[in-house]
Amino acid sequence: MSSPESNAGKLALMLGAILLFCAVVGLILFLASLARGKRADRVTAYLYLAPTLIMLAVGLVYPGLRTIWESFFDAAGKAFIGFGNYETIFTSGDQLTVLGNTVLWVLVTPFVATGVGLLYAILVDKSRFENVAKALIFLPMAISFVGASIIWKFIYEYRPDQGNVKQIGLLNQLLVWVGGSPQQWLVNSPWNTLLLIVVMIWIQAGFAMTVLSAAIKAIPDDIVEAARLDGVTAWGMFRFVTLPAIRPAVVVVLTTIAIGMLKVFDIVRTMTGGQFNTSVIANEFYSQSFRSDNQGLGAALAVVLFLLVIPIVVYNIRQLRRSEAL
Amino acid sequence: MTTTTPATPSVPIATKDISTAEVAKRKLSSPWASLAAIVIAVLWTVPTFGLLVSSFRPERAIKTTGWWTFFSNPTLTLDNYKAVLDAEEGAGLGSYFINSIVITIPSVIIPLALATIAAYAFAWIKFPGRNILFLIIFALQVVPLQVTLIPLLTLYVDAGVANTFWTIWLSHAIFGLPLAIYLLHNFMRDIPASLLEAARVDGAGHVAIFFRVLLPLLRPALAAFGIFQFLWVWNDLLVGLVFGGGGDTIAPITVALANLTGTRGTAWHLLSAGAFVSIVVPVTIFLFLQRYFVRGLLAGSVKG
């Protein structure tokens, strides 16, 4: 399967697809340039928009509506069961655990990641090693969730606590060094969910730091200088100058991370597979849809996800608008 | 108000580049501030470093001793990388790596090109329905892709393209379009209209204006979204998992790694090397194009 010929074939296919796509775009540009007369602009605009609108209608709008419709059907997608699936989500014990975990992700991650990111942004601001220091924290952003999960799974690795067996996971080794006994970190609920959240904090702190650092640097010098001449204390400077000035950015960071947390999937699936009471909505959606073949419940979970995302996104956009207006 | 300010008669010196953070930090008694920064930096670096060191240690050493013992007993090997890439006896990650490349490049180019011409239409051409269409596309950013996956899969099966790269290319392109259009539109609106007017007076059509006037100015915005989308697609698991199937025909490396963690969760010699094979590409891109990436992050991050 993985012979060099098939790899070359794949790359050739890719080049072919890109060329085909360029040809389509070229054709659109050419056709649009032929438009003449009073309606020429209109024709051009619709031609430019045509591929986008078709793709979004077929690939986003229709599937979205279709999923909403299917969420009212049973596991096989045959019998109409009204709000049955939603009832399951909000009453069955397993599903309530899933909802509870999702709430934990959404509440804990944004605040801790933003807190760490803000603290670090302040600490390294204008220091000699600022760029390197920032890159260190920011690098996890470039690593895939799957890669990050493997990195941290190794930290949490557990070896049975017997005679000659040495721990190879850093966390357990640290515990052993201070005289404790090693733990199966990813098995014991509810701590395992918090340890998964740590991975996400590790990834998101860099994002928070970058945005907040940019906001801090945008604070006008004269305000800072005035406050400094007034002899404001460090805490006062942070509380009454920095924080009010970067508040819109903080809100955007918090909400952006929160939206991402609603959809967290990769980390849970890679580290525990949703076992040991760690599942979250997006993981449960995948399991129900593609593993348990419960289409109706899977669809309903996706819709719940959608409904939970909307208010945060709307709030986020309003804040974004406000911060742009400033 | 407070009287604890030490006398600072030499105010003019270097007041220009003093920020709130700096003042806060200076007063936080510097050693503690530095210590805190170092602690955070170490906490953030050690996990990756530990796995990186492990990926070069012999299999037996990884499984019996912690990676920190490497410093007292350093032995290096590339066997793990050979094993994880090799299809015959290892995990065969090599072909998945190729798949990731084949998936990612068109998945960046397609939405980028389509979004550019769409954003141009929205920003610089007046036509009926412009505002409502733009609003709809903007609103589509909130749609989580989970909502679309199963009907989309059915559509692909019906169209006879299931299990081909087209499913993944099209899906990523579709999911990337709303954000791309929004970002590029904002950027295009900032270009002074007089520039375009001048070109139009000279008799340039839309295509000429687009290529000669706009494209050079748009380069930073295109780079920002391009890198954003590149990292997003390269690091994606969900889309690859749903449309990529299990085998190495089209599935990306993230899927192979996730499966490897599931089936051989203690094969750390494979997992560590495999993780770094997948990490090296986005991290390289990130290190070289950090500036654009940051700009992309700052410009908009509500992607669904």
Contact B250, B103 (CB under 8 A): yes
List, run by run, the mean pLDDT of 10-residue segments along chain A (326 residues).
70 92 91 82 90 94 93 87 90 90 94 94 84 88 92 90 81 88 85 93 92 88 85 84 87 88 91 89 91 90 91 80 62
Question: Does B135 touch chain A if contact means CB atoms closer than 8 Å?
Answer: no
Nearest CA to CA, how far is B299 from chain A (Å)? 10
Encode pLDDT of B130-169 as tens digits. Answer: 989 998 998 888 888 899 999 999 999 999 988 899 999 9
Among A30, A27, A22, residue whose Cα is nearest residue B206? A30
Encode pLDDT of B173-232 as tens digits. Answer: 999 999 899 888 888 888 888 888 888 888 777 788 888 888 888 888 888 888 889 989
Q: Say whether A150 and B274 touch across the interface (CB within 8 A).
A: yes
Task: Report the residue from A48, A147, A306 with minimal CB separation from B144.
Answer: A306
Q: How many CB atoms lie within 10 A of CB B213?
A: 17
Task: Please report which helix (H) or strand (E) contains residue B157, including its range.
Answer: helix B146-159
Task: Report the residue from B63, B177, B286 with minimal CB separation from A52.
Answer: B177
**What ipTM score was computed for the predicted complex, to two decimals?**
0.88
Q: Under CATH, domain A91-146+191-325 is a member of which superfamily?
A: MetI-like (1.10.3720.10)
Contacts across the A-B interface (CB distance below 8 Å): 380
Q: Say whether A147 and B207 touch across the interface (CB within 8 A).
A: no
Q: In angstroms, what CA-CA distances link A285 with A266, B232, B242?
A: 12, 21, 12
Question: Does B157 touch chain A if contact means CB atoms closer than 8 Å?
Answer: no
Q: For residues A110 and B294, what is the distance between their CA atoms, to the nearest angstrom?
A: 19
Q: Which tokens belong to A9?
A: 């074939």
Task: Report the residue from B41, B141, B274 with minimal CB separation from A137.
Answer: B41
Task: Report the residue from B20, B127, B272 with minimal CB separation from A237.
Answer: B20
Q: How confident is the model at residue B71 (pLDDT cuts 50, 70, 90)?
A: confident
Query: Which residue ranges form the domains of chain B, and what is each CATH number?
Result: 30-77 (no CATH), 93-299 (1.10.3720.10)
Nearest CA to CA, how far is B145 from chain A (Å)? 8
Would you state the pLDDT for residue A112? 96
Q: Which tokens belong to A69?
A: 């419709």
Q: In angstroms, what CA-CA distances link B17 with A225, A226, B86, B178?
A: 10, 14, 54, 39
Chain B interface, mutation test: which of A137, A150, A233, most B Cβ atoms within 10 Å? Answer: A150
Among B residues 34-93, those touching chain A with beta carbons less than 8 Å apart: 34, 36-37, 40-41, 44-48, 50-51, 54, 62-68, 87, 92
